[in-house]
Amino acid sequence: MLNKIIKTANASFDKELTFEIGSNSDLILENTITNNLVWTIENFAKSPHGLLTFPTKFDMIDPLLNISCGREKIIIRVSVNPEKIINLVEFGTSRLNARIRTIIRLKNAGYKVGIIIAPVIFIDDWKTLYHELITRLADELSEDVKKDIFFEVIFMTYSYVHNAINSEAYPNAISLYNPDIMRVRGRGMYAYKNTLRNEGEEYLKAELEKYFPENKILYFS
């Protein structure tokens, strides 16, 4: 697969292509078992063209800091959420303070870094929680990070399949399905109603523009 990506990247003469390689799993966590991510970065470094990108909720990045080449060809997007939501929903993932340190360490090591606020979940005090998250990022991220960090914002989509899996694995987890604020998005899939989602987008956009006025928001999804 990597050879195919390299071939496609090098065949693109008019623009630099970026390839998403982390859609199916968290590669930082997976790398603690396989070391495949280190191998991938080191071998992709041999290609003159293209970039690789992936998201993560974990802070086990020490193996990536020891790589001798290829860091400038990798975009690592660290997913963050308010600490309360991490505690209620994102079981087994790194704490917020560890994720913030990870962003700084990756940037210092020469990686391109982005921030994903995801999944945005509308619990009762969501505005306060996301305000606290964004102001904490503004306070704790280094000036070097803030020079060129970018943001992506993804709202939660509810799936009965995911719920069944999570309910069995984490019986004490809160229920994320709320028929009062959610709409059908497909078979067994639900998303937030447009009125609430639009309110969330407007609020988060205003907060990010206030505290990160020089940084791009690539998209809301």
Residue 179 lies in a domain: yes
Residue 14: phi and psi, rounded to 5, are -95, -20
C-alpha to C-alpha distance for 174 and 89, rounded to whole angstroms: 7
Question: Residues in the chain, how many?
Answer: 221
Residue 8 lies in a domain: no
CATH of the domain at 72: 3.80.30.30
3-state secondary structure of 176: coil
Per-residue pLDDT tens over the stretch 52-93: 999 999 999 999 999 988 999 999 999 999 999 999 989 899
Q: Please, is 150 exposed, middle or buried when counting C-beta atoms within 10 Å of its C-beta (0-12, 13-18, 19+)? A: middle
Residue 74 lies in a domain: yes
Residue 212 lies in a domain: yes
Helix 126-140 / helix 96-108 crossing angle, nearest 10 deg: 30
Residue 10 lies in a domain: no
Per-residue pLDDT tens over the stretch 48-57: 999 999 999 9
Per-residue pLDDT tens over the stretch 99-149: 999 999 999 999 999 999 999 999 999 999 999 999 999 999 999 999 999
Domain of 170, in residue numbers: 17-220
Residue 148 lies in a domain: yes
Residue 48 lies in a domain: yes
Continuous H helices in the chain: 2-11, 27-34, 36-44, 62-65, 83-88, 96-108, 126-140, 143-148, 160-169, 194-211
Number of structural domains the chain divides into: 1
Residue 9 lies in a domain: no
Joined tokens for residue 62: 């020490």
Per-residue pLDDT tens over the stretch 139-189: 999 999 999 999 999 999 988 776 666 666 667 677 888 889 999 988 878
